[in-house]
Amino acid sequence: MVKQYADVIIDISHDKVDRPFQYRIPPELAGEVYPGVRVHVPFGKGNLDKAGYVVDISGHTDYPEEKIKSITAVDGKGITAQGSQIQVAYWLKRQYGSTMIAALKTVLPVKQKLKQLEHRKVTRCMEGEALLEALRQCEKKHQTAKARVLQALMTDEVLPYELIRQKLNVAPATLAALEKQGCLKIEAEAYYRNPVKCAPGEEKRVIPSRTQQEIIENVIGDYRAGKPGTYLVHGVTGSGKTEVYLGIIEQMIRMGKQAIMLIPEIALTYQTLLRFYRRFGDRVSVINSSLSQGEKYDQIRRAKARELDVIIGPRSALFTPFPDLGVIIVDEEHESSYKSESMPKYHARETAVQIASMHRASVVLGSATPSTEAYYRAKKGEYKLFEMTGRHGASRLPRVYTIDLREELKQGNRSVFSRKLRELIGRRLQAGEQSMLFLNRRGYAGFVSCRACGHVMKCPHCDVSLSEHRGNMLLCHYCGYEEQRAASCPVCGSKYLLGFKAGTEQIEEALYKEFPGVRVLRMDADTTKSKESYEKILSAFADKRADILVGTQMIVKGHDFPDVTLVGVLAADLSLNQNDYRAGERTFQLLTQAAGRAGRGDKPGEVVIQTYQPEHYSIVHAAMQDYQGFYEEEITYRELMQYPPAAHMLAVLITSRQQEQGEALSREMAAVIDARMRADGESAGEDTAETKAETEKAWQRLQVIGPAEASISKINDQYRHVFYIKHPDYQVLVRIKDILEHFCKEKELKNQTVQYDFDPMNTY
């Protein structure tokens, strides 16, 4: 197919990406026009000469041929920074499926009329006893925000204002009040000259171990030799990966290069930030969800202007337009938050590799529990693998007990705590040490049903059961729908409408009953509706204002509590029962991470894993902290079932207002693939024997599963149908996606939407 038409956007002014206009590519410019190239075109009635960017090219047009104007010239200066961002957007669109506009919006920063972000610093004005006394006063008056600031200033004389605002979550008024009290002073501007003057010599410079040195030298050596690669650093939490990242970035900066450091949002803690600030000063900045659009844009402007060397942030920081990108680091690369949940549903790991190859930069992936994908590629030699074993310093891996809950029941123990866990909690309380109890389950899943007829109370808008909450309310976790709990069953009228309590609330209650006087903090979707409440709970626990922290998986990520010596996992296998090919991997990762929370300080840690399936390989290997053993079993299963990474999988999700419409569309789409499969087999007859065999082979290995109703068949009154396509070659799936996109475009769908998800993190 000759691609003789180009979509050109005249004005990419960030704030609103304009609609593209189609132009003809004149034959003499064929081959020079592709996405990202700057071109000149005649525009509007007067055919004014305007410059624009090519964002897409295609072989067909929806306009009458005679109305299309031609591109007049190609800008000969090569691809600009803007152009290379458009190329990334184009790649996202092709690779993951979305409109070009959606892809551009993902990549390009949002511009807003904004005032220049002020750079301010906060300096402490009190020392020793006086400061301690001020802190005591604040604590006495329960001025927790003030206390947080003073605490931070105890360790550092000077801190960036923004750091305090964002990471400590302190309001400007609070800082102003502290200034009035004479505890600190706020100064503007100086930030630029001498931004993060942490008390001199504060950074604890460590001498890299032999392993650390080897990794740094390898990455930098390859880079200097003009052979930047992708590297996977496998090392347990505390093995010194961050030191490796710091070392690599430092060398890159020396070569005049910049670095992007990706961290899952939830793990982007104050401590981590401070480590980077201490090493690199004001040449480091952060992009995360707590920044305003204006602040975000300002960071991007600084990056472009070479005012920054390092940007730290979650997924979206990947698109920071550094002029001389040297390395992209993806910490905790296994985290599912690296996959975008809206279209284009890109994965930051793969996108990092793509962006790095465009800039001839290196990619360093790090994890204690690498994703099956990354480890598989490393084993195949696509990535260079480095193993870091053991923790630094005194802290050792914890001792793990796996408890069979069926045995407990046989022994007559009906409590949520096994005897072992109860005993160990008791000991911790006596010793004044902290524990964390982790319920492997999202939210609070206590559904309500009728004991007489079995009717389950469901959300009228979603295909999910409602959850019971304190105060006799029933809540839908998908759409927020709420209703008063009925007194009797709406179907049979029986009075026995009861809730199945299971979840963090129940555990909290059980703790109060079993250990009178215990101080418990609870952290789950209910208690952390806002980001502040999340940080409040964490800092309260860090300040030892509670003995036990109970929570869902959000408590196992990233946070360092040196005084936690016991971690209990209450229902380790709940996540195994999800009908999902990644369930085993997710369970292993969660358990390994949870176990890693115990004994981070000098005291040894213990872990109790309670489960109904102690023999499951995810649990067995997690208990032994044996990644290799887990990986071997997992990859055998993926290979057998042709799941990623052994093959690739495309999920096509169709949502519709009317159930029948969605069902019909999903069937039609599956039929399109089927027809295409046959047609391609036949038309291959015109090709050479070799390509014919190849085409046939390609289609033969295609598997279509479904269409069927999604496992949650309705959300927010939208019906959901899904089908899956599996194939070993990713590009074959991209072609199928193109065919389906084309088909849907022709159909001009109104009340239906189609989403594509390559190698999905969850099944639908």
Q: What does the binding site for Zn ion look like in residue numbers (CB under 5 A)?
A: 450, 452-453, 455, 459, 461-462, 476, 478-479, 481, 489, 491-492, 494
- The site partner of 206 among Zn ion, ligand ADP, none (C-beta below 5 to 8 Å per kind) is ligand ADP
- Window contacting ligand ADP (CB under 6 A); options: 85-93, 118-126, 232-240, 732-740: 232-240
Rounded to whole angstroms, the Cα distance separating 127 from 153 reads 10
- Burial (CB < 10 A; 0-12, 13-18, 19+), residue 217, is middle
Report if residue 208 touches ligand ADP, rule: CB under 6 A.
yes
Is 34 in contact with 56 (CB distance < 8 Å)? Answer: no
Q: Which is nearer to Zn ion, 461 or 701 (CB)?
A: 461
Torsion of CA 365, 286, 256, 118, to 10 degrees: 180
> Do you know the residue count of the chain?
764
> How near is the Cβ of 755 to Zn ion at its closest, in Å?
19
Q: Are 564 and 600 a contacting pair, CB within 8 Å?
A: yes
Per CB under 6 A, which region of 203-211, 276-284, 582-590, 659-667 contacts ligand ADP?
Answer: 203-211
Per the DSSP assignment, residues forming a β-bridge with 609 are 402, 569
- In which residue are the tokens 């793509």 written? 354
The residue among 42 and 208 lying less far from ligand ADP, judged by its C-beta, is 208
Residue 528 binding: pick among Zn ion, ligand ADP, none (C-beta 5-8 Å cut-off by kind): none
Where in 212-231 is the site for ligand ADP (CB under 6 A)? 212
CB of 241 to ligand ADP, least distance (A): 3
Span 363-392, contacts to ligand ADP by CB under 6 A: 392
Q: Does 209 bind ligand ADP (CB under 6 A)?
A: yes
The Cα 584–Cα 633 span in angstroms is: 10
DSSP assignment string, 208-270: PPHHHHHHHHHHHHHHHTT---EEEEEE-TTSSHHHHHHHHHHHHHHTT-EEEEE--GGG--H
Q: Which does 392 bind (CB under 5 to 8 A by kind): Zn ion, ligand ADP, none?
A: ligand ADP
Question: Binding partner of residue 450 among ligand ADP, Zn ion, none, CB under 5 to 8 Å per kind?
Answer: Zn ion
Interface stretch with ligand ADP, choices 8-16, 240-248, 291-299, 665-673 (CB under 6 A): 240-248
Partner in contact with 462, chosen from Zn ion, ligand ADP, none, beta carbon below 5 to 8 Å by kind = Zn ion
CB of 369 to ligand ADP, least distance (A): 12
238 binds, among Zn ion, ligand ADP, none (CB under 5 to 8 A by kind): ligand ADP
Tokens matching residue 515: 């250990």
State which residue, 486 or 679, has the beta carbon closest to Zn ion: 486
Q: Closest Cα partner for 593 from 559, 563, 630, 562?
A: 559
* The token pair that represents 489 in the structure block: 């069953």
Q: Pick one of Zn ion, ligand ADP, none as the site partner of residue 455 (Cβ within 5 to 8 A by kind).
A: Zn ion
- CB closer to ligand ADP, 98 vs 242: 242
Q: Considering only 96-104, 208-216, 356-364, 510-518, which stretch makes contact with ligand ADP by CB under 6 A?
A: 208-216
Does 394 contact ligand ADP by CB under 6 A? no
Q: Which residues contact 129 (CB under 8 A, 6 or more apart)?
A: none
If phi > 0 it is left, if psi is from -120 to 50 it is alpha, else beta; for residue 238 that is: left
CB 453 within 8 Å of CB 498: no
Is residue 105 close enough to count as binding ligand ADP by CB under 6 A?
Answer: no
Nearer to ligand ADP, 371 or 763 (CB): 371
237 in contact with ligand ADP (CB under 6 A): yes
Give the nearer residue to ligand ADP in terms of CB position, either 389 or 484: 389
Mention every residue, 6+ apart, whose C-beta is less than 8 A from residue 244: 208, 212, 215, 216, 233, 364, 366, 388
User: Residue 621 and residue 446: Cα distance in Å, rounded?
Assistant: 30
Give the pair of three-digit tokens for residue 147: 């206390």
Pick 494 or 683: Cβ nearer Zn ion: 494
476 binds, among Zn ion, ligand ADP, none (CB under 5 to 8 A by kind): Zn ion
Candidate ranges 241-249, 373-381, 401-409, 702-710; the one touching ligand ADP (CB under 6 A): 241-249
Is residue 243 near ligand ADP by the rule CB under 6 A? yes
Cβ–Cβ under 8 Å, residues 103 and 344: yes
In the complex with Zn ion, which residue's Cβ is closer, 492 or 675?
492
Q: In whole angstroms, how close is the CB of 497 to ligand ADP at the nearest point?
A: 48
Task: Look at residue 478 and give the partner it binds from Zn ion, ligand ADP, none, a contact being a CB closer than 5 to 8 Å depending on partner kind.
Answer: Zn ion
Of the candidate residues 206, 394, 624, 679, the single one contacting ligand ADP (CB under 6 A): 206
Helix (H) or strand (E) holding 40: strand 38-43
Q: Which of residues 713-742 bind ligand ADP (CB under 6 A)?
A: none
C-alpha closest to that of 267 among 186, 336, 347, 177: 336
The β-bridge relationship of strands 5-9 and 48-58 is antiparallel
End-to-end CA gap in the chain = 35
Cα(533)–Cα(543) distance, rounded to whole angstroms?
A: 15
Among 238, 247, 314, 370, binds ligand ADP (CB under 6 A): 238
Q: Which is nearer to ligand ADP, 593 or 656 (CB)?
A: 593
CB 47 within 8 A of CB 69: yes
Number of residues located near ligand ADP, criterion CB under 6 A: 15
Nearest approach in angstroms of CB 392 to ligand ADP is 3
Beta strands in 580-680 (DSSP E): 606-611, 648-656
Q: How far is CA 671 from CA 252, 676, 677, 678, in A?
A: 52, 8, 10, 11
176 in contact with ligand ADP (CB under 6 A): no
**What's the rounded Cα separation, in Å, for the pair 153 and 164?**
10
* HSE-CB for 505 with a 13 A CA cutoff: 16
Cα-only R_g, the chain: 28
Nearer to Zn ion, 102 or 452 (CB): 452
Among 98, 169, 174, 239, contact with ligand ADP (rule: CB under 6 A): 239
Q: Which partner, Zn ion, ligand ADP, none, binds residue 235 by CB below 5 to 8 Å per kind?
A: ligand ADP
With CB under 6 A as the contact rule, which of the stretches 151-159, 167-175, 207-215, 431-439 interacts with ligand ADP? 207-215
Residue 241 makes contact with ligand ADP by CB under 6 A: yes
In the complex, the smallest distance separating the C-beta of residue 665 from Zn ion, rounded to whole angstroms, is 23
Q: Which does 515 bind (CB under 5 to 8 A by kind): Zn ion, ligand ADP, none?
A: none
User: Between residue 635 and residue 674, which ones bind ligand ADP under the rule CB under 6 A?
Assistant: none
Residue 418: which of ligand ADP, Zn ion, none does it interact with, CB under 5 to 8 A by kind? none
Q: Are 366 and 241 in contact (CB under 8 A)?
A: yes
Instruction: Give me the phi and psi of 258, to 5 degrees please.
Output: -115, 165
Residue 242 near ligand ADP by CB under 6 A: yes
For the bound state, the minimum distance from the C-beta of residue 247 to ligand ADP, rounded and expressed in Å, comes to 10
DSSP 409-422: HHTT--SSS-HHHH
Span interacting with ligand ADP, options 200-208, 247-255, 436-444, 725-733, rule CB under 6 A: 200-208
* Contact pick of 20, 52, 228, 235 for ligand ADP (by CB under 6 A): 235
C-beta of 207: minimal distance to ligand ADP in Å?
6
Amino acid at residue number 257: K
| 3 state DSSP class of 706 | strand
Nearer to ligand ADP, 207 or 640 (CB): 207
Chosen from Zn ion, ligand ADP, none, partner binding at 494 (C-beta under 5 to 8 Å by type): Zn ion
- Number of neighbouring beta carbons within 10 Å of residue 293: 13
* Residues lying near ligand ADP in the complex (CB under 6 A): 206-209, 212, 235, 237-243, 392-393
